[in-house]
Amino acid sequence: KQEVTQIPAALSVPEGENLVLNCSFTDSAIYNLQWFRQDPGKGLTSLLLIQSSQREQTSGRLNASLDKSSGRSTLYIAASQPGDSATYLCAVKLGNAGNMLTFGGGTRLMVKP
Amino acid sequence: DGGITQSPKYLFRKEGQNVTLSCEQNLNHDAMYWYRQDPGQGLRLIYYSQIVNDFQKGDIAEGYSVSREKKESFPLTVTSAQKNPTAFYLCASRDGAGANVLTFGAGSRLTVL
């Protein structure tokens, strides 16, 4: 069974710092990996999706990388801002159909002004 | 604007009562999902549906029921058989083609009194 782990569970950094969030998964035969942002009491917003054939995806100050062989993905946030404070979750999809999406527990990020 | 609408946002229930959470999407997505989120944890799949009039159990389906009579709608009923129903419930849908991105609603918070 696929297991997804996110470390650290919580992170506090000063504004302007570059930071890396980690996501590891046990089954490397994934179809894609998606990073989400969740604000308190709200739904999830998709940030980046990386297909299994891709190594990385970029959107603005965000860069997500994927290393299937080692079972890892990282989300890099450049020049962090207080507005980046949220919980970040990664989710791994094993196949192209159905329910095979497994979520990590999330990293709760606080960026202090 | 296309999106997913969940209602109600907050719901209180007495023990022994069934409640139904609404999920409506106008994204023309075939697949729809219900997840449960507990504090500090990742999302767990309750039920999913890939097509109208068909749905499948997820990892924690006991005590829940769903229907999919229309493409746009995927209501979730939390029955009295669910022993610990207090949680945050998230509905999502997925486009079957293209980017295969999962899109979420804003969530419904259920509290059992």
**Chain A CB within 8 Å of residue B34 CB:** no
Beta-sheet strand order (sheet of B4-7): B4-7, B19-25, B76-78, B64-66
Q: Is A79 helix (H, G, I), strand (E, B) or coil?
A: coil
Is 90 exceeded by the pLDDT of residue A87? yes
Residue B99: its chain A contacts at CB < 8 A?
49
Task: Calculate what percentage of chain A has a pLDDT beyond 90.
Answer: 81
Q: Which pLDDT value is given to residue B99?
A: 60
Nearest residue on chain B to A107, judged by CA atoms? B40
Token digits of residue B56 = 């499948």
Nearest residue on chain B to A49, judged by CA atoms? B101
Nearest residue on chain A to B59, judged by CA atoms? A99
Q: Is B88 helix (H, G, I), strand (E, B) or coil?
A: strand
Q: Which pLDDT value is given to residue A98?
A: 59
Nearest residue on chain A to B90, judged by CA atoms? A43
Q: Is A5 helix (H, G, I), strand (E, B) or coil?
A: strand
CA dihedral A96, A98, A100, A106 (to 10 degrees): 100
Taking CA atoms, B107 is separated from A15, A34, B6, in Å, by 29, 19, 6
Summarize the confidence of residues B26-55 as an average pLDDT. 91
Token digits of residue B33 = 């999902």
Judged by CB atoms closer than 8 Å, whether chains meet at A105 and B42 is answered as: yes
Pairing between β-strand B108-112 and β-strand B10-13 as defined by DSSP bridges: parallel
> For A82, which DSSP code?
G
What band does A99 get if pLDDT is binned at 50, 70 and 90?
low
Judged by CB atoms closer than 8 Å, whether chains meet at A96 and B103 is answered as: no
- Give the residue from B67, B63, B83, B87 showing the smallest Cα distance to B75: B67
Residue A40: its chain B contacts at CB < 8 A?
none
Is 90 exceeded by the pLDDT of residue B2? no
Q: Which pLDDT value is given to residue A64?
A: 97
**Chain A CB within 8 Å of residue B7 CB:** no
Establish whether the linkage from the previous residue to A82 is cis, with ω within 30° of 0: no
Is 80 exceeded by the pLDDT of residue A1? no
Average model confidence (pLDDT) across chain B: 91
More confident residue, A1 or A59: A59
Judged by CB atoms closer than 8 Å, whether chains meet at A49 and B99 is answered as: yes
The CA distance from B103 to the nearest CA of chain A, in Å, is 7
- Distance between CA atoms of residues B92 and B100, nearest Å: 12
Write phi, then psi, for A84 (nearest 5 degrees): -80, -10
Q: Is B61 helix (H, G, I), strand (E, B) or coil?
A: coil
